[in-house]
């Protein structure tokens, strides 16, 4: 008698991998189309501002007075259609170093020159140079004949640099101040936060203006001055988070292990509020850029010949009647960048704190 033995295999169980806070946040961020648009557009703006000036063919200080205040995409080809029977009007050309010389040329020679200009070519006769109007100025030129596209991209570099650098300064000051106040507590916390309240009562713009007047206009001082007045809200946010965390069990365990106060604060507590710091820092960048634009309107922006988007908008506002493109082109770059940063900041807030999105 034989007995059949049957073996049963237990079903394979798949391993369940836990997900971190950042992987969950990235997953939620990818579901937010506005936030992804903001991230993509912001990265695109950084790339063109950093790399664009190298391919435009102009330096930001290059001037061409005969082509001053040329509108965007205004080429001699579009205006050569007005030529009839070899006649040409002086207003149809951007001429260098000539006024009446061209009109004194024989008509056949003028017609030949006009044909070359219409094809985007330059023509030189003796000491006279004829060139097509706005041959390569895609966004036109400003009142001094400088290429507006190059100046907008260079201005974007400076505006973004001020935004990032001033935000970094505000984060360093705000996180250190708020974390120390919340961790120490007691009278020291009370005194530190009363100082914050007093600074809150002062107008930020006036403080920055005073700093700029006292120490002079300087690119480095600009973002230091702005960052020095933008840290107050960051300090309050970090302080509140530290107060809610310092009585948790992991802090008691760190104290029982003999860790020092600064080590507990910056090694265990501050990393736990990193999500709040990142969200607020992202929303601080557009605020800093706006403040820099306000300072530029007051004549306290970056010193010439450098220019930021705020400086270009200020220059365009003064010429809005005659050259409106000098205003709306840099203003469009500036506005779209601010929108993208706000979309990204809101998306990061919802991704890192899902409860806020539900509320």
Structural domains in the chain, sorted by start: 36-56+142-358 (1.10.3720.10), 75-131 (no CATH)
Is the per-residue pLDDT at 47 higher than 90? yes
Q: Please say whether the beta carbons of 220 and 203 come within 8 A.
A: no
Residue 195, CB-side half-sphere exposure with 13 Å CA sphere: 12
Distance from C-alpha of 235 to C-alpha of 213, rounded to nearest angstrom? 27
Given CA atoms 157, 284, 339, 349 in this order, what sign does their dihedral have? positive
DSSP code of residue 282: H
What share of the chain in percent tops pLDDT 90? 12
Alpha carbon 105 to chain centroid distance?
Answer: 51
Omega within 30 of 0 (cis) for the link into 160:
no
Of the ranges 60-64, 182-186, 259-263, the best mean pLDDT one = 182-186
- Spell 130-162 as b/e; 16+ CB within 10 A means b: bbbbbbebebbbbbebbbbbbbbbbbbbbbbbb
If you compute the radius of gyration of the chain from its CA atoms, what whole number of angstroms results? 30
> pLDDT per residue over 251-276, tens digit each?
888 888 888 878 888 888 888 888 88
Tokens 């009585």 -> residue: 247
Helix 33-51 vs helix 148-184: crossing angle, to nearest 10: 120
Q: Give pLDDT, residue 190.
A: 92
Paired tokens of 324: 């409106």
Q: How far is CA 304 from CA 19, 216, 246, 329, 353, in A?
A: 51, 14, 49, 20, 43
Higher model confidence: residue 266 or residue 67?
Answer: 266
Burial classification of residue 4, based on how many CB atoms lie within 10 Å of its CB (0-12 exposed, 13-18 middle, 19 or more buried): exposed
DSSP notation for 15-39: PPPP--HHHHHHHHHHT-HHHHHHH
How much is the average pLDDT of 15-41? 77
Q: Which residue has the tokens 């006279």?
A: 128
**pLDDT above 70: percentage of residues in the chain:** 70
> Would you state the structure tokens that stand for residue 262, as one six-digit string?
């600064």
d(CA 267, CA 282): 23
Strand 94-96, strand 128-131: pairing = antiparallel
93: number of Cβ within 10 Å: 22
Ramachandran angles phi, psi of 169, nearest 5°: -60, -45
pLDDT digits (tens, 9 = 90+) for 294-324: 888 777 777 777 788 888 888 888 888 878 8
Report pLDDT for 124. Answer: 63
Q: Across the chain, what does the average pLDDT equal?
A: 76
pLDDT at 346 over 70: yes
Q: Which of 64, 144, 134, 129 is nearest to 97 (CA)?
A: 129
Say what the pLDDT of residue 18 is.
56
Q: pTM of the prediction?
A: 0.73
The reported pLDDT for the residue numbered 261 is 78
Instruction: Write down the pLDDT at residue 75.
Output: 46
Do residues 329 and 152 touch, judged by C-beta distance below 8 A?
yes
pLDDT in tens, 71-113: 676 544 333 333 343 444 444 444 443 444 555 566 666 667 6
* Helix, coil or strand: residue 12: coil
Q: What is the pLDDT of residue 177?
A: 92
* CA angle at 167 for the pair 164 and 170, rounded to the nearest 5°: 155
pLDDT at position 83, please? Answer: 38
Residues composing the chain: 359
Q: What CA–CA distance (Å, rounded) separates 109 from 288?
A: 57
Q: Where are the beta strands (DSSP E) in 151-261?
A: none
């Amino acid at each position: 008698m034989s007995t059949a033995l049957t073996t049963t295999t237990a079903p394979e169980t798949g391993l369940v991998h836990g997900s971190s806070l950042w992987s969950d946040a990235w997953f939620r961020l990818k579901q937010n189309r506005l936030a992804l648009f903001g991230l993509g557009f912001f990265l695109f703006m950084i790339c063109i501002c950093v790399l664009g000036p190298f391919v435009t063919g102009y330096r930001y200080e290059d001037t061409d007075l005969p082509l001053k205040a040329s509108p965007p995409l205004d080429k001699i080809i579009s205006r050569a259609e007005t030529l009839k029977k070899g006649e040409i009007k002086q207003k149809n050309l951007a001429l260098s170093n000539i006024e009446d010389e061209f009109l004194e040329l024989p008509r056949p020679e003028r017609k030949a020159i006009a044909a070359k200009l219409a094809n985007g070519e330059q023509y030189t006769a003796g000491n006279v140079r004829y060139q097509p109007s706005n041959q390569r100025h895609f966004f036109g030129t400003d009142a001094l004949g400088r290429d507006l596209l190059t100046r907008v991209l260079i201005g974007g570099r400076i505006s973004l640099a001020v935004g990032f650098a001033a935000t970094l300064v505000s984060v360093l000051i705000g996180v250190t101040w708020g974390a120390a106040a919340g961790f120490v507590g007691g009278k020291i916390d009370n005194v530190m936060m009363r100082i914050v309240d007093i600074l809150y009562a002062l107008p930020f713009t006036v403080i920055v203006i005073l700093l700029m007047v006292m120490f002079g206009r300087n690119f480095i001082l600009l973002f230091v001055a702005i960052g020095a007045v933008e840290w107050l809200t960051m300090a309050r946010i970090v302080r509140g988070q530290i107060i809610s965390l310092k009585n948790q069990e992991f802090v008691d365990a760190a104290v029982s292990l003999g860790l020092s106060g600064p080590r507990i604060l910056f090694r265990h507590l501050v990393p736990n509020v990193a999500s709040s710091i990142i969200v607020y820092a992202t929303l601080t960048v557009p605020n800093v850029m706006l403040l820099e634009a306000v300072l530029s309107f007051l004549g306290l922006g970056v010193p010439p010949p450098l220019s930021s988007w705020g400086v270009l908008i200020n220059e365009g506002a003064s010429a809005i009647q005659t050259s409106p493109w000098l205003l709306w082109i840099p203003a469009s770059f500036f506005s779209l960048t601010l929108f993208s940063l706000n979309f990204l900041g809101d998306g990061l807030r919802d991704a890192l704190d899902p409860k806020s999105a539900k509320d």
